[in-house]
Chain A
Amino acid sequence: MSDQAATFSGAIPDTVKTERSRSFWQAVFRRLSRDPLTMICAAILLAIVLIAIFAPWIAPNDPYKTSMVRRLKPPGTPGYWLGTDELGRDMLSRLIYGGRLSLFMGFTPVVVATFIGGTLGVIAGYAGGRINMAIMRLIDVFYAFPSVLLAVAISGALGAGIVNGLVSLILVFIPPIARVAESVTTQVRTQDFIEAARATGASGARIVTGHVLSNVVGPILIYASSLISVSIVIASGLSFLGLGVSPPLADWGLMLNTLRQSIYIAPVNAVLPGVMIFTTSMCFNLMSDGLRSAMDVKG
């Protein structure tokens, strides 16, 4: 806490301040490295990401090669460790390749929405008054939809496709991020050091970039990190509904969708892609929790 208090106080000379704030981040990393659960999750996620990136070198078979004779082979079949899908494609290779799209579809919307929603929220929080009203009421309208419903509504109207899926997810995540950004900015704005900066004649833009941002970025990023797991689950859900990623591309949600028809014949194959979605989402959730307690941010 004392480190945080130091970064909040504007009276400390610049050199001391940077030294202190560096030690805050060092403290965060020290705390993270002593949290075994977070480290395990980080390792699993790193492995999933690396496997997805190096898929062409790791996958044992071509993920698109179909075969009518070896459809729905059970896991453990020689050459096809995790069996085959309803078109005879190798499950393991498709799961490895599927990570590429599933992670991309889960991660990108949060990054873009954090940028847009964060900017909107900081502007609304810092400007206050009518600008705040205008931005936040607009945000409230989108917040008035249940998140899954909004995603399905927008991508349902736009039609299936990766880009449409991304657009709908970005629109889903802008409102909650903007709300968090607005409330932390409003809190920071009333602090004494902002008043002091204003008294020294700093411009609005200088105050926002120099003093406000450094204090609001942490909470916004922590909140955004908690959305990644939601995003992965909803993105795969869209593909599961036949929106989002379209066949024959490999995506965990889409694989669940197409394998659902075979649930009575090959139940293990049918639920395998979900294991990947679940593991990834769980690890992101636990990591976000670990990060939150390491940075000691409440809320």
Chain B
Amino acid sequence: MLFYILRRFLYTLPIAIGVSLVCFALVHLAPGDPISAILPENASPQLIEEVKTAYGFDKPLPIQYLYWLGNVVSGDLGTSIMTRRAVLSEVIPAVGNTLILAACAVLIGFVVGIGLGTIAGYNSGSILDKAVTAFAITGVSVPHYWLGMVLIVLFSVNLGWLPATGMGSLGSGELPFTLDGLKHIILPAMTLAVIPAGIIARSVRATVSEVRKQDFVQTLYAKGLTSRYVFVHVAKNAAPTVLAIMGLQLAQLLGGSILVETVFAWPGTGFLLNAAIFTRDLPILQGTILVLSIFFVVTNLAVDVLQMMLDPRVKRV
């Protein structure tokens, strides 16, 4: 088992390096010089040279990359062009806010997805099954940024029940579970949960009905087990597949929250990225994307290891 974890970890390392390369390249992909954004238009050639040397832009690209990677590993993601603050000190609170939102969305998405998927898998072919499939397809197809707007129109503009934007008391670092905080998180979390709920419901339905067709389920019934106990066995067998999909969804949520955060003015990574794009604050853009994608890589690693612990058959593949 340790060997498997080690091998999986070694496999992740080159991917993490590749991800860092892509993030490094982002700044150089951008039109114009990376330093043109921080200098006035009429800067003298001498000043340009000085700034280039100061930021290390006069060195060849591979050297620049290693220099940058060294800084990143020691926790220095550069300085924001707009605020002049360290990128990390801007990114960390934003990641925290995104995680709060993603965690709530994951909770809703997983509970709804697993519940509906199991019901549909146990009643395949029935009207219930068709209703769940319809919900799942809708969840997968709906543009969630638009769904967010529709929810705002319904619950904030028309009914006036819930606030449309912001974090409320959640943002001020107070106790996270005040009524005000909950009110602010309901709409964005529900919006963000729709896609994973749909995808999970779909795959749980497929997995459960697949497992139920296997011979051992017939044997369990023949042994005289009640359906409640058979369900435990079915759940155990369906768990690894479902877990893998859920892990992937959790990680996708972090990236997908950009659009939802924009709709609800939620001060997370999406909000930060949006601001960085319009002010052409490339260090912030680069730093946020690096942190999020490394998070994504690590989540995938954790899911793989967890899946192996639950189902030793995975190891042999």
- The answer to whether A and B belong to the same complex is yes
Judged by a CB distance under 8 angstroms, whether A35 is at the interface is: no
Residues of A within 8 A of B137 (CB): 282, 285-286, 289
> Which A residue sits closest to B253, measured CB to CB?
A146
Residues of B within 8 A of A157 (CB): 26-27, 29-30, 282, 285
**Selected interface stretch from B38-46, B116-124, B144-152, B232-240:** B144-152
Q: Tell me, rounded to whole Å, the shortest Cβ–Cβ distance linking B193 to chain A.
A: 15
Choose from B153, B255, B276, B297 the contact partner of A271 (Cβ within 8 Å): B153
Contact B273 A152 (CB under 8 A): yes
Judged by a CB distance under 8 angstroms, whether A264 is at the interface is: yes
Known: A146-B256, A274-B149. A237 touches B296 (CB 8 A): no
B residues 241-292 in Cβ contact with A at 8 Å: 251-252, 254-256, 258-259, 262-263, 273-274, 276-278, 282, 285, 289, 292
Contact B15 A156 (CB under 8 A): no
Residues of A within 8 A of B262 (CB): 240-241
> Which A residue sits closest to B12, measured CB to CB?
A144
Contact B293 A145 (CB under 8 A): yes
Most buried by A among B141, B143, B147, B259: B143
A residues 111-147 in Cβ contact with B at 8 Å: 137-138, 140-142, 144-147
Residues of B within 8 A of A233 (CB): 141, 143
For chain A, the count of residues having a C-beta within 8 Å of the partner chain is: 44
Choose from B23, B149, B254, B296 the contact partner of A260 (Cβ within 8 Å): B149
Judged by a CB distance under 8 angstroms, whether B214 is at the interface is: no
**Dominant secondary structure at the A interface:** helix
CA distance A144 to B22 in the complex (A): 11
Residues of B within 8 A of A274 (CB): 143, 145-147, 149-150
> Which A residue sits closest to B14, measured CB to CB?
A137
Judged by a CB distance under 8 angstroms, whether A158 is at the interface is: yes
For chain B, the count of residues having a C-beta within 8 Å of the partner chain is: 50
Judged by a CB distance under 8 angstroms, whether A95 is at the interface is: no
> Which A residue sits closest to B259, measured CB to CB?
A237
Contact A256 B141 (CB under 8 A): no
Q: Tell me, rounded to whole Å, the shortest Cβ–Cβ distance linking B20 to chain A.
A: 10
Judged by a CB distance under 8 angstroms, whether B74 is at the interface is: no
Judged by a CB distance under 8 angstroms, whether B138 is at the interface is: yes
22 A-B pairs with C-beta separation under 8 A: A141-B18, A142-B22, A144-B15, A144-B300, A145-B19, A145-B255, A146-B251, A146-B292, A146-B296, A147-B252, A148-B258, A156-B273, A157-B282, A229-B141, A240-B145, A241-B274, A256-B149, A263-B149, A271-B149, A274-B143, A274-B146, A282-B142
Binding site for B on A (CB under 8 A): 137-138, 140-142, 144-150, 152-154, 156-159, 229, 233, 236-237, 240-243, 256, 260, 263-264, 267, 270-271, 273-274, 277-278, 281-282, 284-286, 289
Binding site for A on B (CB under 8 A): 14-16, 18-19, 21-23, 26-27, 29-31, 137-138, 140-143, 145-147, 149-150, 152-153, 157-158, 251-252, 254-256, 258-259, 262-263, 273-274, 276-278, 282, 285, 289, 292-293, 296-297, 300
